[in-house]
Amino acid sequence: MTDRLIRAITADGMVKATAVTTRELTERARQIHKTLPVVTAALGRTLAAASMMGNALKSEGASLSIQVRGGGPVGAIVAISDSEGNVRGYAEHPQVDLPLRSDGKLDVGAAVGCDGTLTVIKDLCMKEPYIGSVQLLGGEIAEDIAQYFVESEQIPTACALGVLVDRDQSVRCAGGYLIQLLPGAGEDVISKVEAGVYAAGAVTKLLTANDDPEAMLRTVLSEFELEVLETAPVAYRCTCSRDRVERALLSLGADELRQMLDEQGHAELTCQFCDQVHQFSGEDLRRILELAQKK
């Protein structure tokens, strides 16, 4: 099934919730970056969170980035979403391999590390982007996202994310949910949400049973009446293009372009999000150099 995101609110207006399935886009990320399982899980969780948070922006051209820097062997993890929830991302060291935890699970926390920060950048196409940052709690991503919402946006949030990697290292299922309390929600609502989250169990268990974001939300929020507000397909989507890369080359300035032309005779730039190689011949470079000189 294609990856999908759903957005819902409880009939009492106290809780809003988003859920997403991301098996295909996580598998795409794995194939592009050749990630090993623990990195597939770490990057996959971050992509799922970015998709849900990006989809919440609701203004055209806006984007949301999550950067996780935990000091662990995987290095930085970056995920960027557009305002519909389509994502792209990468991990600095995709081929990190670590022993499984004692419970048999991938040790995402150890790969990411917990000595660092999770930063969210919202670019709403205004002058300055909004930037919020929190200290990592455990590097497992979901609890760090929840902490971000509590600290930076003062929204009580439950977040769960999961990626199940198959024996052949492909992604078997992936996704997550975000549940947020709206103003006026009291202790009774909080305890009902907490009980639902606890009873539902792990995201990977829910998705293995039924790879459907709505079914997942209905299970977690079974004590509430849910109204679905929106369902949307989401995918791995890179926004790079030859034009954009050319603009980046132009911005290097005449001196650097001339040096590139003298030393290499051409340019080959690889997009860090999709691994597409953008080739510029000597002739292309001379044309861009001319433009740079006119500036």
| Burial bucket for residue 156 (CB in 10 Å: 0-12, 13-18, 19+) | middle
Work out how close the CB of 65 gets to Zn ion at its nearest, in angstroms, rounded to a whole number.
Answer: 15
The C-alpha atoms of residue 77 and residue 118 are separated, in whole angstroms, by 10
Work out how close the CB of 271 gets to Zn ion at its nearest, in angstroms, rounded to a whole number.
Answer: 3
The C-alpha atoms of residue 155 and residue 160 are separated, in whole angstroms, by 16
Question: Considering beta carbons, is residue 4 or 30 the nearer one to Zn ion?
Answer: 30
Question: Considering beta carbons, is residue 157 or 272 the nearer one to Zn ion?
Answer: 272
Encoded tokens for 95: 């081929």
* Cα atoms found within 13 Å of the Cα of residue 284, Cβ hemisphere only: 17
DSSP 8-state assignment for residue 236: B
Work out how close the CB of 273 gets to Zn ion at its nearest, in angstroms, rounded to a whole number.
Answer: 5
Which residues here bind Zn ion, judged by CB under 5 A? 238, 240, 271, 273-274, 276
Question: Considering beta carbons, is residue 19 or 271 the nearer one to Zn ion?
Answer: 271
Work out how close the CB of 170 gets to Zn ion at its nearest, in angstroms, rounded to a whole number.
Answer: 22
Nearest to 210 by CA among 23, 16, 28, 55: 23
Work out how close the CB of 171 gets to Zn ion at its nearest, in angstroms, rounded to a whole number.
Answer: 20
Question: Considering beta carbons, is residue 66 or 160 the nearer one to Zn ion?
Answer: 66
The C-alpha atoms of residue 238 and residue 86 are separated, in whole angstroms, by 9
Question: Considering beta carbons, is residue 6 or 79 the nearer one to Zn ion?
Answer: 79
Question: Considering beta carbons, is residue 111 or 238 the nearer one to Zn ion?
Answer: 238
The C-alpha atoms of residue 264 and residue 146 are separated, in whole angstroms, by 48
Q: Which residue has the tokens 């947020």?
A: 180
Encoded tokens for 105: 């699970």
Work out how close the CB of 270 gets to Zn ion at its nearest, in angstroms, rounded to a whole number.
Answer: 9
Question: Rounded to the nearest 5 degrees, what angle is found at the Cα of 283, between the Cα atoms of 277 and 285?
Answer: 60
DSSP 8-state assignment for residue 14: S
